[in-house]
Amino acid sequence: MAILKEDMDYYEALLEMFGSLGWKYFLEDHQGALDSLKDSAFMDCPDNNTWQERRGEIKKLTQIISYEPFIRASFDNIEREIELTKTLNEGLH
């Protein structure tokens, strides 16, 4: 599978963003919100409907916080694929 330059540009831009101070603050804010939602759920969700709404909020924040590890894992897989392709091509020549 060939890796397109646009794909590499996409990942490199995201990796650069993840290294920024703004991204660090963004994650800290969202982690704080997630922790607060989890910690207060017992008192703030007296019925199933409010609990289900809270679960949805928690899930969204968890997905946001998991975005960086997901992208890094995807990029690592691409790098391994590139290395494997190079190794296989060298073995054919």
Per the domain annotation, does 77 fall within a domain? Answer: yes
Number of domains in the chain: 1
In a domain, residue 57? The reply is yes
Asked if residue 65 is part of any domain, the answer here is: yes
- pLDDT number for residue 93: 64
pLDDT tens sequence for the chain (93 residues): 567 889 999 999 999 999 999 999 999 999 999 999 999 999 999 999 999 999 999 999 999 999 999 999 999 999 998 889 888 888 776
Range of the domain at 35: 20-88
pTM recorded for the entire structure: 0.81
Q: Tell me whether residue 12 is in a domain.
A: no
pLDDT value for 2: 67
- Which string of b and e fits 12-40 if b means at least 16 CB within 10 Å? eebeeeeeeeeeeeeeeebeeebeebeee
